[in-house]
Structure 1
Amino acid sequence: MNYKYSKEQLNQGDVVSVQLDKQANVLLLDPLNYSKFRNGKQYKYYGGLAKVSPARITVPYTGTWYIVINLGGANGTVRYSVEIL
């Protein structure tokens, strides 16, 4: 699976804002679910398919988070930037 990610220490209530140049999946994963994602197992996430940019996801609790961007198996690349609000 081809994807990009960023690992961040985030606080409850922070907003992850992801600017995209095309439609893509934007997922917010805790460490356990990121490990499941990487290993092809069933996982839980916040976010999903971002059809408009910026995609915004509110952080549900304080901790380490992975912000994952992928094209859901489609070919190509996506340019993006991440900002924590």
Structure 2
Amino acid sequence: MTERKFAEYHWEHLERGSTLVITLSRPANVRLMDPENFAAFQDGVEYSARESVARKAPFRLRVPSSGPWFLVIDLEGLGGPLVRHSVHVEHRAVSSQRP
């Protein structure tokens, strides 16, 4: 079995509705997973993720629920050279209640 090569980002806590803004030097797979699914991904077994091929930057991915999250960036099935990447979080805007 071939070892998977990927870059990972980890957050102990992201709020539901926050957006990950991913900048890539070329198209790549992006996968957002909770800790259990990330462990399954690492073990090479069936996992569940919000995933897509990011073809243009910046690529935006919304966080579906609050909690810990892993983001994986890889070129599996895409071939070619390595991809340069960066990620930042746009936190969900909190609406203010006026009396």
Common topology (TM > 0.5): yes
Partner of 1:2: 5
The aligned residue for residue 94 of structure 2 is none
Greater strand share, 1 or 2? Answer: 1
Q: Percent identity?
A: 33
1:17 aligns to 2:12 (yes or no): no
Q: Deviations over 1:26-45 (max 9, x none)?
A: 11110010001000011111
Q: TM-score, normalised by structure 2?
A: 0.81
Displacement, 1:60? 0.6
Answer with 1 or 2: which has the greater Rg: 2
What CA distance in whole angstroms lies between the structure 2 residues aligned with 1:6 and 1:63?
Answer: 14
| RMSD (CA atoms) | 1.0
Contact 1:37 1:43 (8 Å CA) reproduced: yes
Alignment of 1:3-82 (within 5 A): 3-8=6-11, 9-73=13-77, 74-82=79-87
Give the count of matched residue pairs.
Answer: 85
Shift of 1:76: 2.2
Gaps of 5+ in 2: 91-99
Gaps (5+ residues) in structure 1?
none
